[in-house]
Structure 1
């Protein structure tokens, strides 16, 4: 088998699932990772079990995550690209009480500090150990690592911890790219604006939004470039979104 292999975390819905469908149409074989294998069953059936492998792992669990990535490489014999897409979003306010945040990135409400730990672990630590687990396989194929950031990681959002986690992903992508010089591995940071997924509120859904497929197309664009081209960052906002948001 010679078709390129793409592993996607957070693959059961939203951007991850949309990217998987587009990649399958482009001929990729897929390793799809989510916390629960059952959540991936409809997508695997849609794509075809001969081209999609369902893997269960929590991206904050090093042992489970690294084992899943090793399983994918062993199953297909290679990994050509890994899209670290898993992420969560919870409201936050550091002053307490209600927040009137209108950032357009899914973070509004009164703040739930007990959920912040999961957000920081998933969005930052999870992205970091996804890279750490995948890069040995990617160096063997001179492959491609992609991470989902956000336009929220490009500007200040009052009281917004989600934004801070995406600032961290921006720095993480740059640090990995610098360390990977000379390996042939390329690193791309995908920075979406407001995307119509289950993470956003009804109020935000009334604003200009992207579809998950729009981000999937950005991922496929980066992957389609010749080996000499390293697309470092892609920023995709819906038409009409506040340029500062």
Structure 2
């Protein structure tokens, strides 16, 4: 399918993991992609992979309004339009127990994950109004239910409510805002934690953690015309963990399902 033929998408944190998979998916479906990240060498390689005629790599720190504004302006100048913004930048950057979290740590977490997404939306809106484009923000199941990482969860929950409000405000102008809420996804963030993903697999009814391509498929749907009448929604892509994490111990609970 070529759902993004003639369209331009800007993907934040596109150097690896989910952002990289999203950039590849949109490009594979005919779109041009602006890939942003702090890792210049990696996004340069992504742009080279996609092709110089349809990709642009820009170093961006989403906590810097100047960086964000410059990146969006460069995207519009290079390709003449902007149709899709994928807010993927963010992360869990607070490691203390919540009772000890400082004001500075709270501000850092919210600035990166929540306010960073807002900056990208604000900079992109004038272009998205012209193209009747859309925004997909990558939140998390942490923003939907209590899985810990309180500061990160608060920022991710904020993304969801922010997107709903933008959807209501800019729907009359044809701009859509949706959210994807992934569960645990196999990304380089887990590389230094051997055995963790294998342990998490037992929590998921579908028996595995997610792959970046699982999330990219959902983003491609929501940002395409196939989702033209969907806005203000959060799509969990989480292997069923929201049905009840850790509730089923198949080694002690008897048969997991009827044998056919």
With structure 1 as the length reference, what TM-score do the two structures score? 0.86
Q: Does 1:25 align with 2:17?
A: no
Moved more, 158-167 or 63-72: 158-167
For residues 196 and 220 of structure 2, the distance between their equivalents in structure 1, rounded to whole angstroms, comes to: 26
For residues 192 and 120 of structure 1, the distance between their equivalents in structure 2, rounded to whole angstroms, comes to: 19
Q: Does 1:143 align with 2:143?
A: no
Which of 46, 57, 74 pairs up with 1:71?
74
Query: How far did 1:63 drift?
Result: 1.2
Moved more, 51-60 or 225-234: 225-234
Which of 192, 197, 200 pairs up with 2:182?
192
Instruction: Figure out how many residues of one structure are paired with residues of the other and give that number.
Output: 229
What stretches of structure 2 of length at least 5 have no aligned partner?
Answer: 202-208, 246-260
Aligned to 2:234: 233
For residues 166 and 242 of structure 1, the distance between their equivalents in structure 2, rounded to whole angstroms, comes to: 16
Q: Give deviations 1:63-97, integer Å, cap 9, x for gaps.
A: 1111110110111000011101101113341235x
Query: How far did 1:51 drift?
Result: 1.1
Backbone CA RMSD of aligned residues: 2.1
Query: How far did 1:204 drift?
Result: 3.2
The change in CA–CA distance for 1:92 and 1:236 in structure 2 (over 3 A counts) is: farther
For residues 117 and 73 of structure 1, the distance between their equivalents in structure 2, rounded to whole angstroms, comes to: 31
For residues 205 and 112 of structure 1, the distance between their equivalents in structure 2, rounded to whole angstroms, comes to: 29
Higher percent of residues as helix: 2
Contact kept? 1:69, 1:134, Cα under 8 Å: yes
Aligned to 2:9, the other structure's residue is in SS state strand
Which is higher, the Rg of structure 1 or of structure 2?
A: 2
Q: Does 1:169 align with 2:159?
A: yes
Q: Give deviations 1:171-206, integer Å, cap 9, x for gaps.
A: 111111111121100111111111111234434311
Q: After the TM superposition, which segments of 4 or more aligned residues of structure 1 sit over 4 Å from their partners?
A: 111-116
The change in CA–CA distance for 1:112 and 1:175 in structure 2 (over 3 A counts) is: same
What stretches of structure 1 of length at least 5 have no aligned partner?
Answer: 97-110
Aligned to 1:84: 87
Aligned to 1:8: 11
With structure 2 as the length reference, what TM-score do the two structures score? 0.81
Aligned to 1:95: 99
Query: How far did 1:226 drift?
Result: 4.2
